[in-house]
Structure formats: C-alpha cells, structure tokens
C-alpha cells in the first residue's frame, strides 16, 4: 500500500514539473518574441537607411516647368545599397498645380520599409499679359468723345482674367489737359501687369470770321458734284510719313476721300487706300512739268506708269485723273503750246475723268500752318454746291489739319464722298 501510495505521489509530481517546463518555455518564447518585436520596432529601421542629397529646404518649381530636378535618393540595407527595384518613387508632384507638394520615395527590403519625402513649392512668377487696343498716346479735341479701348488680359496659369482688370483715371473731354488712364491686372499669385495711356485733350481751332489767309485765292464758286458733299482730294502721294496719319483720321471718322497718286511712296499705302474704300486716281509718275507737258506722247508715257502701278496694286483700272498743276495751269505753255486743251480732250476720249477743285487748302505753298489750312478750307465750304478740296498728303501740316477739317464737316451737316467720272469739276483751260 505504502509503495503504491508513493508511486501515485511521484507520478503526480512528474506531471506537475512537466507543466512547469511548458510554462517556462512559453514565457521564454513570449519574451523572445517581444524582444524581437521591440528590436524590429525600435531599431529595425536602422538596418535600412534611406537618404537624399542636398538640404531639407523646400525646392521652388515654376508652374508648368517639366524640368524638375529630383535629388539623388539612396537606400542602404546594413550599409549596402539596395537594388533599383527595391527603391521607387511612390508619389510625384504635379507641375500644373500651384502650392506645396511632395515627391515620396519608398525603400523596401524583406519586411523592412522606409520612406523619404522631398518638399516642393510650385509657384507662378509670370505676370499676366494685357492687350490694349490703343496707342500709348492719344489726342482728341475738346468736346470729342474719348472712346475707351478694348482691353484683354490672359495669364499663363489663370487663363482669361479680363474681368479682373482694374482701371484708374478718367478723361474729361470738356477740359483741356493731359489725362492718364492706367489699366492693371493681377493673377492669382499676385503677379501684376499695368499699362498707362496718355490722353491729351486739345483745344479745337476756332473759325475766324474774316480770314484772308494764303491759298484761298485759288478757291472758286464753281459747282463740283452734289450739293452739301465734301470731296477730299489728296495729291502727290503716297507719302510714307503723312499718308498713314491721314488714312487713320479718315478711318476714325469713317469718311472716304480721293487720292491722286504718283510713283512715290510705299506700294502698301496705295493698297491700303484702296482697301479702306477710298478712290485712287492718277496724278502722273514724275509730276515734273518739263516732262509731262513736253509732248502729248511724253504725257501719256508718264501717266501710264502710274496707271499700271494702280492696276497692279488694286486690281482696278483707274478712271480718275488730276493734271499736275490742274487743267488751268499756265506753266505748260513753256513746254508745249496748247497742250492742256489737247490732253483734256484725249483724257475724256479715253474714258477718264479729270478733276480740278473749287476749294484750295493752300497747303502747297500758301501756308504751312495747320490752323490756317483749316480756315482756308472751312471758310470756303458751301452747302449749296459740291466741294472738291485740294490737299496734298505729302505735307506735314495737312496731316495735322485733316482731323479738324473732317470734324467740322461732320459737325456742320456735310457728307463725304469719293469722286467719280459723272462729276465735272473743271477750271478754265488757259493753254
């Protein structure tokens, strides 16, 4: 019995110690697992190192600039560089969007993982572009309406920002002076563009009641064309300096004129005269009296050079003609007796119309003063007949007088037209 009892006790003891061993092993394993976990959690990263070249500053990138330089990123596992496919970019920046962004790299080696990011700031430093349909300096006469130019603004990032344009300054068209109007616009990154237009409001020359200025002597009371119509005519051009100024004024008021051209000036100006709706007529090539009036044949040779020039540039065969010095000139007598009578007949036989004038602006010698030229014209205008005005677009003072002359005509109820072959405006031939 005793033996038996002993045996039972010892097997009980064995069972107990087996349990103890299992428990100890479990605790040791758990401890080892925890140790490994702590080692990985706190030090694991140090086995894997990721780094980049350069400092930690935010890199500035210009918006839409694709040539972003990415710093060299390296990843090492236990001091040894990992292979290329273990290091990769997982996040890139979008250069089409402004603001702070990051490029992110991830390095993966077995169950270790590390990331690094590079900070960028995408900025817009380009100012918007403003387009203003106006010259920098504009001048108007007191009382004239100042027409605001059309303004447009586009930005490389924001696109059309015309609605963000701010205007400062006003023009008082009732008061003489120089006014400044400034247009400015800012894009969403506060880049600014601005432009200033200077507007000069000038006093308009006043018509003097008793004017005895030069050049009016050649104006006459004969009728030329329809009553109340002004036929502006410009001889001797085109002139590269003054014809464009005159054309600008005519188009500003929307009035048409007749240009009697020679071989001078730029071809483009004749094209523009035609395209602007003006009439282009012949005034001979050389305009030299000793050439064109030396013989009938010499006249026609000279005249045809300009005829062909006009045809070549406008595609239209000219039918309007003005004799150098007018049909009543006496200078031609020195070169060929009776030539004006002969040429006037020949011209009409060939289907051309020739035109003199009943108002001389005096710009070819009577005056070089735009104000005087203005009086010479407006003081001789009449509503009861047509008004063919002799001017020269080769004269600076005419380019300065034309605005006031046209303005006066419009304000006083005249209309403007080009000459045509049904109009007769002939002075008395005296050779």
Residues that bind Zn ion (CB under 5 A): 235-236, 324
Of 228 and 325, nearer to Zn ion (C-beta) is 325
* DSSP string computed for 215-245: TGGG------SSTTEEEEEEES---TTHHHH
User: Which residue has the CB atom at the shortest distance from Zn ion?
Assistant: 235
Locus of tokens 């006249």: 299
Query: Least distance to Zn ion from the beta carbon of 282, Å?
Result: 11
Query: Least distance to Zn ion from the beta carbon of 132, Å?
Result: 39
At residue 22, φ and ψ (nearest 5 deg) are -60, -45
Of 173 and 368, nearer to Zn ion (C-beta) is 368
Query: Least distance to Zn ion from the beta carbon of 207, Å?
Result: 27
Query: Least distance to Zn ion from the beta carbon of 233, Å?
Result: 10
**Who contacts 30 (Cβ-Cβ below 8 Å, separation ≥6)?**
none
Of 225 and 237, nearer to Zn ion (C-beta) is 237
**Who contacts 47 (Cβ-Cβ below 8 Å, separation ≥6)?**
77, 78, 112
Please choose, from the candidates 285, 336, 339, the residue with its C-alpha nearest in 3D space to the C-alpha of residue 310: 285
Distance in angstroms (rounded) separating the CA atoms of residues 52 and 60: 17
Query: Least distance to Zn ion from the beta carbon of 291, Å?
Result: 13
Of 191 and 360, nearer to Zn ion (C-beta) is 360
Which helix (H) or strand (E) covers residue 345, if one does?
A: helix 339-349
Query: Least distance to Zn ion from the beta carbon of 283, Å?
Result: 6
Tokens of 181: 């109007």
> What's the burial of 210, exposed, middle or buried (CB within 10 Å: 0-12/13-18/19+)?
exposed
Of 235 and 273, nearer to Zn ion (C-beta) is 235
Locus of tokens 């080769």: 394
Of 391 and 402, nearer to Zn ion (C-beta) is 391
């Amino acid at each position: 019995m005793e033996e038996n009892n002993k045996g039972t006790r010892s097997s009980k003891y064995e069972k107990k110690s087996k349990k103890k061993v299992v428990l100890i092993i479990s605790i040791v394993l758990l401890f080892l697992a925890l140790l490994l976990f702590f080692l990985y959690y706190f030090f694991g990263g140090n086995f894997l190192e990721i780094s980049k070249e350069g400092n930690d500053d935010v890199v500035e990138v210009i918006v839409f600039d694709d040539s972003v330089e990415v710093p060299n990123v390296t990843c090492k596992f236990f001091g040894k560089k990992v292979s290329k496919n273990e290091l990769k970019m997982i996040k890139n920046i979008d250069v089409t969007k402004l603001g702070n962004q990051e490029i992110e790299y991830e390095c993966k080696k077995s169950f270790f993982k590390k990331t690094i990011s590079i900070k960028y700031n995408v900025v817009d430093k380009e100012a918007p572009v403003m387009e203003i349909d106006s010259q920098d300096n504009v001048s108007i006469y007191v009382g004239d309406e100042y027409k605001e130019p059309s303004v447009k603004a586009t930005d490389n990032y924001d696109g059309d920002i015309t609605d963000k344009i701010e205007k400062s300054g006003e023009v008082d068209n009732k008061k003489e002076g120089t006014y400044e109007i400034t247009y400015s616009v800012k894009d969403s990154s506060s880049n600014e563009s601005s432009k200033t237009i200077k507007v000069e409001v000038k006093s308009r020359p006043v018509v003097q009641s008793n004017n005895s200025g030069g050049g009016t002597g050649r104006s006459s009371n004969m009728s030329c064309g329809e009553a109340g119509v002004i036929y502006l005519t410009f001889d001797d051009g085109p002139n590269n300096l003054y014809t464009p100024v005159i054309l600008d004024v005519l188009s500003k008021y929307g009035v048409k004129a007749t240009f009697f051209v020679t071989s001078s000036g730029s071809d483009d100006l004749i094209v523009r005269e035609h395209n602007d709706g003006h009439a282009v007529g012949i005034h001979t090539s050389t305009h030299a009296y000793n050439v064109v009036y030396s013989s009938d044949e010499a006249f026609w040779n000279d005249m045809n050079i300009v005829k062909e020039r006009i045809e070549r540039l406008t595609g239209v065969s000219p039918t309007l003609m003005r004799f150098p010095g007018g049909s009543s000139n006496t200078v031609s007598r020195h070169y060929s007796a009776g030539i004006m009578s002969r040429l006037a007949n020949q011209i009409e036989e060939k289907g051309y119309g020739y035109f003199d004038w009943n108002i001389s602006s005096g710009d070819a010698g009577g005056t070089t003063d735009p104000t005087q030229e203005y009086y010479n014209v407006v003081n001789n205008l009449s509503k009861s007949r047509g008004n063919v005005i002799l001017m020269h677009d080769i004269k600076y003072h005419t380019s300065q007088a034309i605005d006031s002359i046209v303005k006066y005509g419009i304000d006083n109820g005249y209309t403007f037209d080009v000459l045509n072959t049904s109009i007769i405006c002939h002075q008395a031939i005296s050779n």
